[in-house]
Amino acid sequence: MIIAKNIYKRFKDIVAVNGVSFTVEKGEFFGIIGPNGAGKTSTLRILCCLSPLDEGLLTVMGREVKVDDRVIKSNIGIIPQESDLDIDLTVYENLYLFSKFYGIENKKSLKLIEDALIFTELKAKSNSKINDLSSGMKRRLLIARALLNNPELIVMDEPTIGLDPQARHFIWQRLRRLNKSGTTMLLTTQYMEEAEQLCNRIIIMDKGKVISEGNPKEMIKKEIGSEVIEVRVEDAEASIISQIEKNLQNINYKKEKIGDTIYIHSQNDNGRDIVNKLTGMNHLYIHYRPATLEDVFLKLTGRGLTE
């Protein structure tokens, strides 16, 4: 569906995309994750033919973005990060005009708009003004809008950013359903939970490069293990840390320290033993939990603030 070979995007003084390669197969739910400024959105914009590719080769559905932008744009659905809904128009008019932009005949568009409104549960809001919608509804309308041309590929930039949990879960369900019905999905996100929930394959980007690629569960297993024990230390760090190390002698583990927290990655499911060894200590906040993609992400991109 998508083949990116060594693509580059440069702005005035930064290289936003620095030699990125990846492929997305038909039917996949593919995620690009990374911190702010990693080059996710730039990659997406090139892919959607909104931003010119500086170097490299990028094909979508077998067509080059540099050549066939019109054909590619006709066959993908784009869900942007920020709402660009037309606030002068109603919900229905927004969809109607977009169906015009896609060159869909009136006869067909009525049915398509109806289906899209039902799918996103916005039927009752057909005649509402955009400014009267909640942010969750706006995002649903953006999804409805992206479905009008029956796209083979849906591209989403941070589809649930800034939404409350209900709205977020609703959107996740809809996106999964679309994927099940055969639509290839590509999203960027900085929410690791989202990537874990949705994607069957991800790439992690940092500073314009791909630093890791794989299935989220396998990546967690490989990089972290199955469990993590977070230990938050208050004062007298050095002495407590050496105390912890002493308590965990003879136990197989890996650890990373960021700020006031130590992340202990258990090996061979020995997390319970580690917790038992630590419970006696004073001034410790201990959180014993399954390993997540966030651990992988933090380990690979470094835990310092990237901005």
Applying CB under 8 A, the residues found at the interface with other proteins are 11, 48-52, 65-66, 69-70, 73-74, 78, 80, 82, 84-89, 93, 97-98, 100-103, 149
Instruction: Determine the Cα angle at 93 with ends 88 and 97, to 5°.
Output: 100
- Closest by CA to 185, choosing from 10, 7, 290, 29, is 29
Is the CB of residue 59 less than 8 Å from the CB of residue 69?
no
Instruction: Determine the Cα angle at 302 with ends 297 and 307, to 5°.
Output: 95
CB of 46 or CB of 199, closer to other proteins? 46
Is the CB of residue 179 less than 8 Å from the CB of residue 24?
no
Q: Which residues of 143-180 are buried (b: 16+ CB within 10 A; e: fewer)?
A: bbbbbbbebbbbbbbbbbbebeeebbebbbebbeebbe
DSSP designation for 243: H
CA distances from 160 to 92, 122, 135, 195, 196 (A): 22, 17, 10, 11, 14
CA distances from 132 to 90, 92, 94 (A): 10, 13, 14
